[in-house]
Structure 1
Amino acid sequence: MRVLWFANDDIAVDVLSRLCTKTLLLLKCVSKEWHRLISDRSFVCVQLKRTVPTSGFFFQERFRWCNDDIKSISYIPVEMDNDEMLQRTVLDFLPESVVLIASTNGLICCRSCFPSQQRAIYVCNPVNKDWVSLPFPTPDVGNSLGLAFDPLQDPIDVSTKFRVVRVFKAETDSEDSVLSFDIYSSATRAWRRSAEICQCNSNLLKNGGIFIEGMMYWLTDGDQIVMFDLEKELSWLIMTPFPTTQFDVIPEMCIGESEGRLHYVLISEVGLQLWVLQDHFASQWELLFSIALDKFEEENPEFLYNVCKRVGSRLTIDVLPWMVPLAYSGGLLLMRVSANIFLYHFETRKMRKLCSLSLLGVNSMFYPIVLPLAISLVPMDRP
Structure 2
Amino acid sequence: MDELWFQNNDIPIDVLSRLPTKALLSLKCVSKEFHSLISDCSILPLLVKRAEQLSGFFFQERFQWCDDDIKAISYIPVERGEADVQCTILDFLPESVVILASSNGLICCRSCFPSPQPAIYVCNPLNKEWVSLQWPAPDKGSSLALAFDPFRDLLDVSTNFRVVTVCQTETDTDADDYHFSFDIYSSAMGVWRKSVEICQCNHNLFKNKGIFIGGVLYWLTDGDQILMFDLENELALLIMVPLPSTQFKTIPEMCIGESEGRLHYVLISEDGLQLWVLEDHFASQWEFRYSISLEKLEEENSQYFYHLPERVASRVTIDRAPWMNPLAFKDGMLFMRVSADIYLCQIETGKMKKVCSLSALGSNSYFSPIVLPYTMSLVPLGRA
- Which residue of 1 is the match for residue 142 of structure 2? 143
After the TM superposition, list the runs of 4 or more consecutive aligned residues in structure 1 that deviate by more than 6 angstroms.
1-4
- Which residue of 2 is the match for residue 277 of structure 1? 278
Q: Quote the offset at 1:308 in angstroms.
A: 0.8
- Which residue of 2 is the match for residue 47 of structure 1? 47
TM-score normalised by the chain length of structure 1? 0.96
- Which residue of 1 is the match for residue 23 of structure 2? 23
- Which residue of 2 is the match for residue 361 of structure 1? 362
Structure 1 residues 190 and 321, CA, compared in 2 at 3 Å: closer, same or farther?
same
Residues in 1 aligned to 2:301 and 2:270: alpha-carbon distance in whole angstroms: 17
Q: Quote the offset at 1:299 in angstroms.
A: 1.0
Residues in 2 aligned to 1:54 and 1:44: alpha-carbon distance in whole angstroms: 20
Aligned ranges for residues 162-241 of structure 1 at < 5 Å? 162-175=161-174, 176-241=177-242
Structure 2: runs of 5+ lacking an equivalent: none
Is 1:118 matched up with 2:148?
Answer: no
Q: Quote the offset at 1:226 in angstroms.
A: 0.4
Q: Quote the offset at 1:171 in angstroms.
A: 3.9
- 3-state secondary structure, aligned to 1:236: strand
- 3-state secondary structure, aligned to 2:25: helix
Is 1:71 matched up with 2:71?
Answer: yes
Amino acid at match of 1:254: C
Structure 1 residues 262 and 4, CA, compared in 2 at 3 Å: closer, same or farther?
farther
Q: Quote the offset at 1:40 in angstroms.
A: 2.4
Q: Quote the offset at 1:156 in angstroms.
A: 2.6
Checking the alignment, whether the CA contact within 8 Å between 2:119 and 2:132 is kept in structure 1 is: yes
Q: Deviations over 1:144-201 (max 9, x none)?
A: 0100000102233243000000010134222321110000010111111000010111
In terms of mean alpha carbon deviation, does 277-286 or 292-301 score higher?
A: 292-301
Residues in 1 aligned to 2:383 and 2:362: alpha-carbon distance in whole angstroms: 34
Q: Deviations over 1:262-313 (max 9, x none)?
A: 0111001111011100000000001111011111111111111111101100
Aligned ranges for residues 237-252 of structure 1 at < 5 Å? 237-252=238-253
- 3-state secondary structure, aligned to 1:309: helix
Checking the alignment, whether the CA contact within 8 Å between 1:42 and 1:156 is kept in structure 2 is: no
- 3-state secondary structure, aligned to 2:24: helix
Amino acid at match of 1:293: L
Aligned ranges for residues 96-115 of structure 1 at < 5 Å? 96-115=95-114
- Which residue of 1 is the match for residue 261 of structure 2? 260
Residues in 2 aligned to 1:288 and 1:4: alpha-carbon distance in whole angstroms: 50
Q: Quote the offset at 1:7 in angstroms.
A: 4.2
Q: Quote the offset at 1:382 in angstroms.
A: 3.5
Residues in 2 aligned to 1:71 and 1:368: alpha-carbon distance in whole angstroms: 12
- Which residue of 2 is the match for residue 322 of structure 1? 323
Residues in 2 aligned to 1:346 and 1:182: alpha-carbon distance in whole angstroms: 35
Q: Deviations over 1:14-61 (max 9, x none)?
A: 101211211111111222221121122343322233220001000000
TM-score normalised by the chain length of structure 2? 0.96
Aligned ranges for residues 279-318 of structure 1 at < 5 Å? 279-318=280-319
- 3-state secondary structure, aligned to 2:173: coil
Amino acid at match of 1:77: P
Amino acid at match of 2:284: S
Amino acid at match of 1:151: P
RMSD: 1.6
Checking the alignment, whether the CA contact within 8 Å between 2:228 and 2:238 is kept in structure 1 is: yes
Checking the alignment, whether the CA contact within 8 Å between 2:343 and 2:352 is kept in structure 1 is: yes
Residues in 2 aligned to 1:332 and 1:299: alpha-carbon distance in whole angstroms: 17
Q: Deviations over 1:219-260 (max 9, x none)?
A: 000100000011111101000001111111111111111111
Checking the alignment, whether the CA contact within 8 Å between 1:17 and 1:43 is kept in structure 2 is: no
Identity of aligned residues (%): 68
Residues in 2 aligned to 1:381 and 1:264: alpha-carbon distance in whole angstroms: 35
Q: Deviations over 1:54-108 (max 9, x none)?
A: 010000000011111000000000023345x210000000000000100010000
Structure 1 residues 59 and 3, CA, compared in 2 at 3 Å: closer, same or farther?
farther
Q: Quote the offset at 1:132 in angstroms.
A: 0.2
